[in-house]
Structure 1
Amino acid sequence: MAARDLARRRASSFPYLVTILALVSLILLFSAFRSSLAPQYHTAGLLHPSPGSSCNYSDGSWIRDLGPAPPRYDHRCKEIFKGWNCISNRKSNALDLLRWRWQPSHCDLPPLDPLRFLRRYRNKNIGFVGDSLNRNMFVSLVCMLSRVSGDVKKWRPAGADRGFTFLSYNLTVAYHRTNLLVRYGRWSANANGGVLESLGYKQGYRVDVDVPEQTWAEAPGFHDILIFNTGHWWGAPAKFDPIQSPMLFFHKGMPLSPPILPEDGLDMALKHMMLYVEKTSRIDTIKIFRSQSPRHFEGGDWNEGGSCRRTEPLLPEQVEELFSLEKNGTNTEDRLVNRHLYKALKGSRFQVLDITHMSEFRADAHPSTAGGKKHEDCMHWCLPGLTDSWNDLLVAYLDNWKN
């Protein structure tokens, strides 16, 4: 009797079990479908939420504010490189650039408050280490802070290219210029022969993947906050022509044989430089790697008549058209470099400042023809302009890490 009752109960519960399993299957199927529709920058692992925050600042859109948009700082700030000063150079949309602000999808990104920043980072040293795109960001921050604190000492701390101490707050902000992070210089074949000579190499550039460039070697021991970048020079044919002046990689003073490709050299350099920073910095030093800044050449690359003359941000479908790896577009550099960067960062104590996706929209924010250059500048950014938003993002990330 008890056995029959148990059988009836099992039979009566079977339809409910089937219903539950069906619902679970539908949920899993819907999740997989949504994943398949996710944009490429996400599936490629290029979207990083800020640590300690439920907000993903990299997911959002550009909003145009109505009414007048006062600049964050005067375009006459002396640190602005002449070619980036789009207001002085009379770029047609230079003032309109100030109207656009990045709006994350699930939170707000307030503009950097320079007085609050000076007070919060009193007695700190902040170092930007990298190529001219990091200088772009450095200048933006310095100009914003200078607007509220004129008591400034100009100097070159720890071998920096340039630096400023805001004396009332004992806050130092410096820029260390380095193209590859690692040491490199001209190489010529030795008359006595060697490994590279035996392979037919006559000249090129020696790149020591395990030796930091001297311009920033002392920076990890000096700065409390470090913001790194690299990538643009690793694929620069005008400098490192694969035939006439190739990159020749060395490790522990010896040439790597067989020679490796630049992308493999980048992997090695990132790995060794991150280990170097970990070894030479304090345990409480905040170590940040800024993701790759996108270029916006259309109609060809920089040396092929490419231009960037748009006056408004791109639409999402236009972004994918220009940056899709599958379509092998002119501007895939940022996503390719980010793949190497995220691979190297995995398991390290470095944090990611992800500015790539938000910047991919801003084809309108480059100097372009302003300044009368031979080739249009579709890589650097107008100041005041987009890199102000990078510093807004930096503050949001730093606030989360400190809390």
Structure 2
Amino acid sequence: MGLGSTNPLKSQPRSFTKLLPWALYSLLIPLVLLHLYFRPLHFSKTSPNNQIPPPHKPVILFSQVLKAGIKQEVLCDYFNGKWVPNNSGPLYNGTSCGFIKDGQNCHNHGRPDKGYLYWRWRPKQCRLPRFEPTTFFSLLKNKHLAFVGDSMARNQLESLLCLMSTASSPVLVYSSGDDKKFRRWRFPSHNINVSVYWSPFLVKGMEKSNNGFNYNRLYLDSVDERWASEMGKMDVVVLSVGHWFLHPAVYYEKGSVLGCHYCPGLNHSEVEFYDVYRKALNTTLKAVMDRRSGDAMDVIVTTFSPSHFEGEWDKAGACDKKKPFEEGEKTLEGMDAEMRKIGVEELEAAKKKEMGKRVRLQALDVTKLALMRPDGHPGPYMYGFPFANGVRERVQNDCVHWCLPGPIDTWNEILLEVIKRWENGFEMH
């Protein structure tokens, strides 16, 4: 082209020159996205306001099928999301499932509202599938799944039994202890054992008694052998504790008194229960890693589940909300945030120490999704028809445990996703 030649673009219609930049952008944007996919940006761990984000790494990779039929790995943080209305409702009800502890059977105890049953948790980056019993059976075939902890562990166990029993009926093969605190069921169809072990501290402890001392005793450097002695028989372990650490207690370590929490009259120094909770988790996870040999074992730590008492626990309206909190209406803070933080930190520290493949570790981070559901507790319906004779000023409320069916079923939907990822050969991050 000579120096005197005209610019070919000037000879084109004005509409063409307007469209040209957009055509170039349409070519550049896919190239940029491909570059970012293969060479992702790396950001500093410090947030823009120079605050270090909380130690939160329960990020799970899972496979999502695109419309074109192509699978891609998507980051999914189940901790972040919101509750959305859902018309499908639960897979079971208070009548169809026979494993619900009486105090959590809200429907059969006369709770009149049913709206709490029609919500689903929606993570921000992905979709959380409904619980698939047949998938769960195929993944746990010939395995032993154990829930170890306090009444929240039992609450989650009974939710899982209800979900599983929609596809196959289990047989109770073992029961022992007060209030049946040690139980085991077997699903003959797939040779699956599901157990619950009562251990409210995970470490060795002596619970307070009405006839003796009015405080718990915890031995922070010794794991509770009531469940740990059977560790070799377990394939998947779900650890769930927290609320019992708030009770008055004396703590022992290395054969001597370390201190106590809320024990007036005893000449012991006050020890913050946060530190004790951390020590108990540390001792427990160390025992798991030290003792495990042979086949790999999966260990899942369920994070702290907040309560929703408003005012006094024996008032009729202690937790009377009828729908979830909306995003931004309730903030995770104070004790709830600290207990969750400790659980995640100890789990992540244990991951770094476990260099072999004998133990796989993962946090089941349910604290925020639980915090957002003040409507999901039994409240006064921990007892049958508490207002049959009129509304009383004082009635005991349960604003800690969860109605079945209810929000806690979501915990087991996430549990299934964790196990699916492990079985498909993907490590958790």
Question: Structure 2-normalised TM-score?
Answer: 0.71
Q: State whether structure 2 residue 57 is matched by structure 1 residue 44.
A: no
Q: Secondary structure at the match of 2:323?
A: coil
Q: How does 1:3-22 map to 2 (within 5 A)?
A: none
Residues 1:32 and 1:249: Cα distance change in structure 2 (over 3 Å):
closer
Residue 86 of structure 1 is matched in structure 2 by 106
Residue 181 of structure 1 is matched in structure 2 by 202
Residues 1:289 and 1:187: Cα distance change in structure 2 (over 3 Å):
closer
Q: How many residues align?
A: 336
Q: How does 1:97-176 map to 2 (within 5 A)?
A: 97-150=116-169, 152-156=171-175, 161-176=182-197
Alpha carbons 1:140, 1:388 under 8 Å: kept: yes
Identify the match of residue 296 of structure 1 among 291, 308, 312.
Answer: 308
Q: Secondary structure at the match of 1:62?
A: strand
Residue 58 of structure 1 is matched in structure 2 by 79
Residue identity opposite 2:132 in structure 1: D
Q: How does 1:1-400 map to 2 (within 5 A)?
A: 32-33=47-48, 43-46=53-56, 48-50=58-60, 54-66=75-87, 69-76=88-95, 77-93=97-113, 95-150=114-169, 152-156=171-175, 161-185=182-206, 204-236=215-247, 240=248, 247-256=249-258, 259=269, 260-282=271-293, 284-298=296-310, 300=311, 302=313, 307-320=318-331, 323-325=332-334, 333-349=335-351, 350-370=361-381, 371=383, 372=386, 374-400=395-421
Q: Secondary structure at the match of 2:228?
A: coil
Aligned-residue offset at 1:255: 2.2
- Render the CA deviation track for 1:339-394: whole Å, top value 9, x for unaligned: 22233223213311101111111111110111249421111000011111110011
Residues 1:151 and 1:82: Cα distance change in structure 2 (over 3 Å):
closer
Residue identity opposite 1:139 in structure 2: E
Residues 1:169 and 1:249: Cα distance change in structure 2 (over 3 Å):
same
- Render the CA deviation track for 1:92-129: whole Å, top value 9, x for unaligned: 32x32221111111211111111221122100110010
- Render the CA deviation track for 1:70-93: whole Å, top value 9, x for unaligned: 531231322101110111012132
Residue identity opposite 1:72 in structure 2: L
Percent of matched pairs sharing the same residue: 28
Higher helix share: 1
Alpha carbons 2:149, 2:240 under 8 Å: kept: yes
Alpha carbons 1:51, 1:397 under 8 Å: kept: no
Alpha carbons 1:46, 1:335 under 8 Å: kept: no
Aligned-residue offset at 1:45: 3.1
Residue 23 of structure 1 is matched in structure 2 by none
Residue identity opposite 2:120 in structure 1: R
Q: Which 10-residue stretch deviates more, 345-354 or 168-177?
A: 345-354
- Render the CA deviation track for 1:25-50: whole Å, top value 9, x for unaligned: xxx99x955887xxxxx943356212
- Render the CA deviation track for 1:170-219: whole Å, top value 9, x for unaligned: 0011111111112222799xxxxxxxxxxxxx985431112222431224
Q: Which 10-residue stretch deviates more, 267-276 or 224-233?
A: 267-276
- Aligned equivalents of 1:33, 1:71: Cα separation in 2: 42
Aligned-residue offset at 1:254: 2.4
- Aligned equivalents of 1:270, 1:151: Cα separation in 2: 31
- Aligned equivalents of 2:319, 2:99: Cα separation in 1: 24
Alpha carbons 2:159, 2:404 under 8 Å: kept: yes
Residue identity opposite 2:309 in structure 1: F
Alpha carbons 2:208, 2:214 under 8 Å: kept: yes
Residues 1:179 and 1:55: Cα distance change in structure 2 (over 3 Å):
same
- Aligned equivalents of 2:330, 2:83: Cα separation in 1: 13
Residues 1:296 and 1:151: Cα distance change in structure 2 (over 3 Å):
closer
Q: Secondary structure at the match of 2:375?
A: coil
Q: Which 10-residue stretch deviates more, 54-63 or 212-221?
A: 212-221
Residue identity opposite 2:162 in structure 1: C
- Render the CA deviation track for 1:134-178: whole Å, top value 9, x for unaligned: 111100111111121125343259x97111110110001111111
Aligned-residue offset at 1:252: 3.0
Residue identity opposite 2:112 in structure 1: S
Q: CA RMSD in A?
A: 3.0
- Aligned equivalents of 2:207, 2:136: Cα separation in 1: 42
Alpha carbons 2:218, 2:250 under 8 Å: kept: yes
- Aligned equivalents of 1:70, 1:318: Cα separation in 2: 24
- Aligned equivalents of 2:208, 2:111: Cα separation in 1: 41
- Aligned equivalents of 1:219, 1:307: Cα separation in 2: 40
- Aligned equivalents of 2:220, 2:188: Cα separation in 1: 37
Unaligned runs of 5+ in 1: 1-27, 37-41, 189-201, 241-246, 326-332
Q: State whether structure 2 residue 422 is matched by structure 1 residue 401.
A: yes
Q: Secondary structure at the match of 1:399?
A: helix
User: Runs of 4 or more off by more than 6 Å in structure 1?
Assistant: 303-306
- Aligned equivalents of 1:399, 1:179: Cα separation in 2: 28
Alpha carbons 1:314, 1:363 under 8 Å: kept: yes
Q: Secondary structure at the match of 2:195?
A: strand
Aligned-residue offset at 1:304: 7.9
